[in-house]
Amino acid sequence: MKARAFSYVRSETLADAYAAFAQAGDASYISGGQSLVPALALRLQAPELLVDLGAVAEMHGVTLDGDMLRIGGLTRHAQMLTEPLIARHAPLLAQAAPHVAHPAIRNRGTLGGSVALADPASEFPAMMLAMDARMEIFGAAGTRLVPADAYFQDLYQTALEPGEILVALHVPSVGPRHRWAFDELTRRRGDYAMVGAGLQGLFEEDGRIEHIRIAFFSVAATPVRVKSVEAALAGRKIDAALIAHVQGLIDAELDPAEDEHLPPAMRLHLARVLLGRLLQTVSSPT
């Protein structure tokens, strides 16, 4: 199918992009375009105007400011694997990146685009939750920071108001006492996850967990944390009994939708398996 014949504007500043979007009435922003272009081709979306964010300077680059890593929204998936600052300060992203689509997509797709779309089956949005990231959002009132916990609201619904732009992701840098892990279970190798999860925690010297955040994807309309599991892990040292205990909490935390080929019972089962594997991974230092 052919996309609607949209017009196109390339903005160099956030304000210009915002204005162009507002003026059009029926516009879409394009970042990497790897989800948008197929949606346009299938006419799931058919905007009149595409506002290209590619030249907006504030959305480029990865910088460290104190304990906070600022990752420009236009940073490509492929850069999660090559950018030294990400490897050092936000290693969970580097760990998740090979699971995201495939190289040709990763060469174009952007972190900001993925988090703005908030596909519940995507890896990176869930990692924002696990890393306790803040979203830098540009809108009518200028720029604001929204914590990941308040950002994901419902299926493809985020704190982004119409016309607002996800400028950058602010990720707390990991220190020597952090541990993290990522994994997903797929039908076919490299496929969308049936269930996936990432976790990141601060550990005491003796191996006890000070606090931990665990985020699942492909289990609900949004990426979700399993807070009762996190609470149960706080102050504890990971062992087989603790893993079994928190696996038992999953059923009450997650409520996957009915799916003919992936019954909720199986999804929950896989989530328990995955949780066990991830906790096993971080039971010794990363």
Partner 1 sequence: MNFSIDGHAFSAEPHPGQCLRTFLRERGDFGVKKGCDQGDCGACTVWVDGAPIHSCLMPAFRAADRKVTTIQGLASGDALHPVQQAFLDAQAFQCGYCSAGMIMTIAALDETQRADLPRHLKGNLCRCTGYAAIHDAIDGVVNVSDDIAGNACGASLPNPFGPGIVTGHARYTMDLDVAGLTHLKVLRAPHAHARIRSIDKAPALAVPGVLAVFTWEDVPRRLYSTATHEDHLVDPDDTYMLDDVVRFVGQRVAAVVGESEAAAEAGCRALTVEYEVLPAVFDPELAMAPQAPVLHHKGGEAHGNVFAEIRGEVGSIAEGFAEADAIHERTYTTSRVQHVHLETHGSIAWKSDDGRIHVRTSSQAPFIAHEKLCHLFGFIPADLHVFTERVGGGFGGKQEMLTEDLCVLALLKLGRPVKWEYTREEQFIGASTRHQMTTRVKLGAKADGTLTAIEIRVVSNTGAYGGHGSETLAASLSSPMSAYRCANKKGEGFVVYTNMVPGGGFRGYGASQSTFAIECAMDDLAKLLGIDPFTLRRRNMVTADDWIEAIWSGVSDVEFGSYGLDQCMDLVEEALATGPRRPVPAGEHWAEGTGIALAMLESGPPTEHRSGAVMELLPDGRYHLAVGSTEMGNGSVTSHRQLAASVLGARAQDIDIINADTDKAPFDTGTFASTGTVVAGQAVMLTATALRQNILSYVARITATKPDDWALEADAVVGGNARISLVELHAKGTAAGHRFLAKRKAYLSPRTVAFNVQGIRLAVHRITGDIEILQSVHAADIGRLINPMQCRGQINGSIAMGLGWALTEHMDYDDTGHLKNAALRNYRIPSFADVPRTQILFADTYDTIGPLGAKAQGECAINPIAPAISNALFDATGVRFASLPFTPDRIFDQLQPRP
Contacts of 40 (CB under 8 A, 6+ apart): 3, 4, 6, 28, 46, 47
In the list 87, 185, 202, 232, the residue contacting partner 1 (rule: CB under 8 A) is 185
Answer yes or no whether residue 142 interacts with partner 1 by CB under 8 A.
no
CB of 163 to partner 1, least distance (A): 20
Answer yes or no whether residue 177 interacts with partner 1 by CB under 8 A.
no
Answer yes or no whether residue 251 interacts with partner 1 by CB under 8 A.
no
Find the part of the chain contacting partner 1 (CB under 8 A) among 85-93, 132-140, 189-197, 249-257.
189-197
Find the part of the chain contacting partner 1 (CB under 8 A) among 15-23, 156-164, 198-206, 255-263.
255-263
CB of 251 to partner 1, least distance (A): 14
Answer yes or no whether residue 108 interacts with partner 1 by CB under 8 A.
yes
Q: How many residues bind partner 1 (CB under 8 A)?
A: 44
User: CB of 73 within 8 A of CB of 114?
Assistant: no
In the list 87, 146, 202, 273, the residue contacting partner 1 (rule: CB under 8 A) is 273
Find the part of the chain contacting partner 1 (CB under 8 A) among 154-162, 166-174, 182-190, 226-234.
182-190
The Cα 230–Cα 152 span in angstroms is 19
In the list 211, 236, 245, 269, the residue contacting partner 1 (rule: CB under 8 A) is 269
Binding residues for partner 1 (CB under 8 A): 1-8, 30, 33-34, 37-38, 40-42, 50, 52, 54, 78, 98, 101-105, 107-108, 185, 187-192, 194, 260-263, 266, 269-270, 273
